[in-house]
Structure 1
Amino acid sequence: MTFPTLLTTRLRLTEAQVEHAPAIFEILSNPEVVRYYGMDPFQELAQAENIVQHFKNNFDIKKGMRWAIINNQSNRFVGTIGLNNLAIGMKKAEVGFEIHPDFWRSGITSEALQAVLDYAFEELDLQRIGAVTFPANEASIGLLKKQGFMEEGKLRSYLFQNGQSHDALVFSLLREEWHIK
């Protein structure tokens, strides 16, 4: 399968590549960005290069897809969004994303998420998209709810960050809910 490019009004979603590693490092080394990410901030560029390779490996074995979000007008790298824990045979995946703070609350994440959900439900024929987030991550929770995701419950001590365990909230969106939004 060829990695799909997704186009929206303002964005081009394309496969995350090693050339994006410096921009990914800039984002994932920012403590504010990873505050609710479930990992500690990156300390060196090699970590970003490794995560790009991880994205590629997951795509090659059909376990995930990670798009670089590129602003059409400025050609600037905005962040990444993708499908994690992809199980095409089981018709499910989880969505995850991180965006440069310059683009927070601009509607870009919503636009990118909408494109990925359309692709997941229409092209991959998935039935369920899940999402896991920190209970305090109000921005992501608001975005998920706006897109029609429903809260399913709490996973106790599910995430480990900054030397301690944290609870997580689980959300999901089903294909039939997506079409009625």
Structure 2
Amino acid sequence: MRQHITSYVSSFHLTTPRLLLRPYHQEEAQAFLDLLEENRARLESDFPDRTSSVTNLEEAVNRIKILEYQRRTGDLYSFGLWRQQDHQYIGDITIRRLARGKKVAEVGYYLAAHAEGQGYVSEAMHALLEYAFEVLRMDAISLRCAKENQRSQKVAERCGFTWTGEFVPYLNQLSDKPPRPLYTYRLSRKDYASKAA
């Protein structure tokens, strides 16, 4: 499945058969906030920074401004996931450089509860990986997910990532819950190219 990448000066987007992936615009702050509000309890353990810093519309607008700045500097590319058939906002997928100027990055994502289990993340991931390796020219992409998150593990495997280990992160000061063991995965440019061929 070949995704379509469109680039232009002010913005860009990625398309898949069912999804439109594009950077956020400030006028979408309410939808951005609503999805976080509706899914806060299930997202806060994996996305403590975003869930704790976006609790009202003003904070949502400010976060989108930060995302716009990070995209312009090349540090982080955050895409809203919009379903093409009804233009509904259903989640987020982000690629973040692990160090300024380095060609290694980490991908993260979340979906609204009603959109899970329908293959949207795998579809979005394929588009993002194409963008990361072919446009951003990344050397490797990593992915982390909770040890008990079998859905994310299957996404990683379907998208060609290789399991690299397990670790328990330090206690996060933004959460009072104990840290959970995480699985780590990696996909190199070489492996991506060979699997794409």
TM-score above 0.5: yes
Deviations 1:43-74 (A, max 9, x none): 33333223212211211221011111111111
Would you say the 8 A contact 1:67–1:82 is kept in 2?
yes
TM-score normalised by the chain length of structure 2: 0.80
| Structure with higher strand content | 1
Instruction: Check 1:15–1:51 CA distance in 2 against 1; reply closer, same or farther (3 A cut).
Output: same
Task: Specify the alignment match of 2:47 in structure 1.
Answer: 38
- Aligned-residue identity in percent: 25
| Structure 2: gaps spanning 5 or more residues | 1-7
Answering whether residue 119 of structure 2 is matched by residue 111 of structure 1, we say no
Structure 2: distance between partners of 1:61 and 1:159:
30
Give 1:163's aligned residue.
176
How many Å separate the matches in 2 of 1:104 and 1:32? 15
When residues 178 and 88 of structure 1 are mapped into structure 2, their CA distance, relative to the original with a 3 A threshold, is: farther
**Equivalent in 161, 172, 177 of residue 186 of structure 2:** 172
Residue 46 and residue 138 in structure 1: after superposition, are their counterparts in 2 closer, same or farther (change >3 A)? farther
CA contact (8 A) 2:97 2:103 kept: no
- Name the Cα RMSD after superposition: 2.3
**What is the CA–CA distance in structure 2 between the aligned matches of 1:103 and 1:118, rounded to whole Å?**
23
**Cα distance change of structure 1 residues 162 and 52 upon mapping to structure 2, 3 Å threshold:** same
The answer for unaligned runs of 5 or more in structure 1 is none
In the alignment, the residues of structure 2 paired with residue 157 and residue 100 of structure 1 have an alpha-carbon distance, to the nearest angstrom, of: 25
Moved over 4 A (4+): none
Q: What is the number of equivalent residue pairs in this alignment?
A: 181
1:7 to partner: Cα distance? 1.3
| Pair member with larger Rg | 2
